[in-house]
Amino acid sequence: MKRIHKKSFIIFILLLITFITISAVQAEDADKDIFIPEVDYKYYSLDNGLELFVFEDHKVPIVNFSIYYDVGSIDEEKGLTGISHLLEHLMFLGTDTLNKGQISNMIKAVGGSENASTAHWRTNYYETLPSSSLELAAALEADRMRNLNISEKEFQREKEVVIQERRLYIENDVFSSAVEEISAAAFKNTPLEHGIIGWREDLEESTLNDIYNYYEKYYAPNNAVIAISGDVTGERAYQLVEKYFGSYEPKKVKKADFKFLEQKEEKVVTVRKMTRVPYIVMFYKLPAGDHPDMAAVDFLHDILINNSTSRITEELKQKQNIMLAAGAYRMSLSAPGFSRIVLVPNSEENVEKVVQGFEKELQKIIDNGVSEEEIKIMKKRMTKNLILSQKDISSFSDMIIGDYIKYGRPDFYKEKIRRINNVTEADIIEAAGKYFDKSSRTTGYILPEK
């Protein structure tokens, strides 16, 4: 299906060879500060509020055109969950001038590809094509921003596609369906209580009128950012964007903020599923992704869980042999986010032992701290991750635009690097005690059906 949220392997290879060599990164010695060479970009804004970032790289005659709308699942109202993702699907079905399939066919005809993705915080559409065909991408995206035209029949058909997608990836998946229930309890009465794909009943009851209202509300030039990367000059990119988008009028776009309600005791959710192994899923609430403490949280994740020599792995998996795997993930948003810890005991009998083992290792960090060697290793590991995330100009531009939409800071990656370099043992201890309090977490147990 076209809207699988991954770039194809072929496009990945094409983009990979276009890019900046990060061999200049100074990371041979773990004692050295992380250094990522800057990549130049040009910034433009139109009178109607549309913003443009251009990342030039002329090694290969390929260009990527991406348009980001500042709207995602955290902007959805109750009763309309999943509408951002549903609209993303519908954007491929036609406009006043193009019928279903013509957008894709025109891109393929020039040897390009196109796709889209929806996140909690944005919706993105992109084309990768020969640089000589850049104008085609600009014209098509400008047409879709203003002239969406979907019949009731096509709407109902695509709605069923999304419902089937939900059935396949959420409802028929043991882990995903259980995590959906646990998330709903953890983030009740906030936009994080539902996933990107939304609740099934909301999808079933959505109407074409709902779609058009949402489209008219958020798909506006002053609520969009365009990134063009590859074989193009800033002047040429701006000329095309002004030509196709410049006449569009801005709209009033108001987005609601939210806060987590104070939580004073642990929430516990138990879900029985057809699974052979149990899972433990813990949610800890965090501030926005650009909060200064988040670098220390990332260090804590890695030292405690996220690598082969982490404390949890060594103690619970290798020494005690009561756990199969573990992982930690941090959701970064302009709004409050969260840390998600997943622990996989090797049997239901060891579930409580794994929870106690996790809490014990966390408390050790709070009481006794971490070693300088652990911090050095993590800095080196984060260096490697930063290098991989910037292996090509398209990946780098995606990071820049993401930070700009979320935090209004296109150069936030520099601040991330500075914070990583400056993280101390005291910062990690403070983050562990401040954000990983049992009384404020939600713990979900995914257990085998009796």
User: How would you list the strands of the sheet with 337-345, edge to edge?
Assistant: 267-273, 442-448, 279-286, 337-345, 323-331
Q: Which of 227, 225, 245, 243 is nearest to 57 (CA)?
A: 227
Dist. CA 120–CA 385, nearest whole Å: 22
The pLDDT assigned to 33 comes to 58
Closest CA to 125 of 62, 66, 197, 84: 66
DSSP conformational letter for 378: H
**pLDDT-derived band of residue 11, with 50, 70 and 90 as boundaries?**
very low
| Contact of 43 with 193, CB cutoff 8 Å | no
Residue 273 clears pLDDT 50, i.e. is over it = yes
pTM of the full predicted structure? 0.90
pLDDT in tens, 378-387: 888 887 777 7
The pLDDT of residue 26 is: 37
β partners of residue 279: 446
pLDDT of 395 over the 90 cut: no
Across 412-437, average pLDDT: 95
Tell whether the model's pLDDT for residue 251 goes beyond 90: yes
Confidence of residue 406 (pLDDT cuts 50, 70, 90): very high
Q: DSSP string spanning 138-181?
A: HHHHHHHHH-B---HHHHHHHHHHHHHHHIIIIIT-HHHHHHHH
Contact 361, 304 (CB under 8 A): yes
Tell me, what's the pLDDT at 382?
84
**In this predicted model, what pLDDT tens digit does every residue of 322-376 receive, in sequence order?**
999 999 999 999 999 999 999 999 999 999 999 999 999 999 999 999 999 999 9
pLDDT of residue 386: 73
Which pLDDT belongs to residue 30? 41
The model's pLDDT over 83-138, given as tens digits with 9 standing for 90+, comes to 999 999 999 999 999 999 899 999 999 999 999 999 999 999 999 999 999 999 99
Residue 20 has pLDDT above 60, yes or no: no
Name the band, by pLDDT with cuts 50, 70 and 90, for residue 190. very high
Under 8 Å between Cβ of 73 and 198: yes
Class of residue 176 by CB neighbours under 10 A (exposed 0-12, middle 13-18, buried 19+) = middle
Which pLDDT value is given to residue 403?
Answer: 96
Q: How confident is the model at residue 393 (pLDDT cuts 50, 70, 90)?
A: confident
Residue 178's region, left for phi above 0, alpha for psi from -120 to 50, else beta, is: alpha
CB of 303 closer than 8 Å to CB of 428: yes
Question: pLDDT exceeding 90 applies to what percent of the chain?
Answer: 83
pLDDT range class, residue 255, cuts 50, 70, 90? confident
C-alpha radius of gyration, the chain, whole number: 23
* pLDDT band at residue 45 using 50, 70 and 90 as cut-offs: very high
Nearest to 413 by CA among 436, 386, 377, 380: 386
Instruction: Mean pLDDT check: name the lowest of 22-31, 322-331, 407-416.
Output: 22-31
pLDDT tier at 36 (50, 70, 90 boundaries)?
low
Q: How far is the C-alpha of 31 from the C-alpha of 270, rounded, in Å?
A: 45
Least confident of 177-181, 321-325, 397-401: 397-401
- CATH code for the domain defined by 267-448: 3.30.830.10
The pLDDT score that the predictor gives to residue 394 is 82
- Measured CA to CA, the distance from residue 184 to residue 188 in angstroms comes to 5
Whether 22 has a pLDDT exceeding 50, the answer reads no
Q: Which residue spans of the chain are classified as CATH 3.30.830.10? A: 9-245, 267-448
pLDDT surpassing 80 at residue 198: yes
Domain 9-245 belongs to what topology? Answer: Cytochrome Bc1 Complex; Chain A, domain 1 (3.30.830)
Q: How far apart are CA 181 and CA 193, in angstroms?
A: 9
